[in-house]
Amino acid sequence: MAIAVICLSLIALLDPLITSRPARADMRRQVRADLHRVHRVSKVLVRIRKLAEGLRTEERALKAAIDWSQSSVRGVESDSMVRLWMRMASLRYRMWVVRRAAARLRKVRHELEDRIHFLRIALTHLFRVCPVDEPRSYVDDFGVWVRRDEKGLPTKDKKKWHHHQGIDIFSVPGTPVRAPFPGWARVATNPVGGLAVKVFGAQGFVYNAHLLTYGHLGHVEEGTIIGYIGNTGDARDTSAHDHFEWHPFNGPAVDAYPYLNEACGPRGLDR
């Protein structure tokens, strides 16, 4: 029973880590941490397996005792039979708790292993091509305060400001915007982002906003033109650019700057 409690406590500690996004661009640290957690979970599962084997042995012995009591003269002694059945009920409840804890831990381990797999893929080759053709320029403006409200209108009310959720890649109007990996491109137009396209891939999706017009939609390969640089939406008073967001595992946006550097070259220039 104590091991089951330990298992449930460990699950409570690990569950938030499963759903939390990796720290900014620190996927390598996340992989090492997840590997350590997988090791811890595996060790507990071994202990649970041994505990379950002991409980099954106890169950067989208790069942044999019940069968013997029922077939003997002493089987008529209801008080002893009641005690045996109470022990059996308690034993089976303990077995159920252990099985449930083991199932939840196996699920946690599976989710961790899946995330490690996708993170390793992402570290190897996340964006296979630069999403914006030359000429282009960008800086790491992820997370800076945007002095606009939720409708994209300028405001002095600090309560309505929000953090920038992407990287603005500036270029001349009409410059091709490309899918950085194979996947599925679909329209994501909205009043703030203007003409926009999302590309869904194996590790998550990218969001491209303020486009001048659309390119190819539906199934795309890496490098397929999905749109062209513009300043639609709330960017109508700014220079033409692609508001580029990266959402790993279809979760919240994270800083794509290091991955853009890998695909586009440092400071937005080809290597």
Residue 158 has pLDDT above 50, yes or no: yes
| Residues facing residue 148 across a β-bridge | 154
Q: Please state, in angstroms and rounded to a whole number, the distance separating the CA atoms of residues 10 and 253.
A: 28
**Highest-scoring range by mean pLDDT, 110-119, 180-189, 245-254:** 180-189
| Confidence tier at 148 by pLDDT (50, 70, 90) | low
DSSP codes joined into one string, 2-24: HHHHHHHHHHHHHHHHHHSPPST
pLDDT reported for residue 86:
84
26-51 burial string, b = 16+ CB within 10 Å, else e? ebeebbebbeebbeebeebbeebeeb
* pLDDT at res. 27: 67
pLDDT one-digit tens code per residue, 76-99: 556 677 788 888 888 888 889 888
Neighbours of 228 (CB within 10 A): 21
Q: Which two tokens stand for residue 47?
A: 């202990």
Nearest CA-CA partner of 78 in 66, 90, 88: 66
Q: Please check whether residue 17 is in contact with residue 37, taking contact to mean a CB–CB distance below 8 angstroms.
A: yes
Q: Who wins on pLDDT, 19 or 264?
A: 264
Q: What is the pLDDT of residue 256?
A: 87
Q: How far apart are CA 247 and CA 155, in angstroms?
A: 27
Read off the pLDDT of each residue in 152-166 and give the average, rounded to a whole number: 67
Q: What is the mean pLDDT of residues 138-142?
A: 88
What number of other Cβ atoms are within 10 A of residue 149's Cβ?
A: 16
pLDDT of 15 reads: 42
pTM equals 0.54
Q: Which long-range contacts (CB under 8 A, 24 or more apart) does 46-50 make?
A: 47/3, 48/3, 48/4, 48/7, 48/98, 48/101, 48/102, 48/105, 49/102
Paired residues of 168 in beta bridges: 243
What sections of 126-244 are H helices per DSSP? none
Asked whether residue 117 carries a pLDDT value surpassing 60, the answer given is: yes
Q: What is the dihedral of CA 13, 14, 18, 21, to 10 degrees?
A: 50
Per-residue pLDDT reduced to its tens digit, 30-49: 778 888 888 888 888 888 88
Whether residue 246 has pLDDT greater than 90: yes
pLDDT at res. 240: 93
Contact 255, 222 (CB under 8 A): no
- C-alpha 226/C-alpha 216 separation (Å) is 5
Q: What is the pLDDT of residue 24?
A: 36
Looking at residue 173, its pLDDT comes to 94
Region of 143 (left: φ > 0; alpha: ψ -120 to 50; beta: rest) is: left
What's the chain's average pLDDT? 79
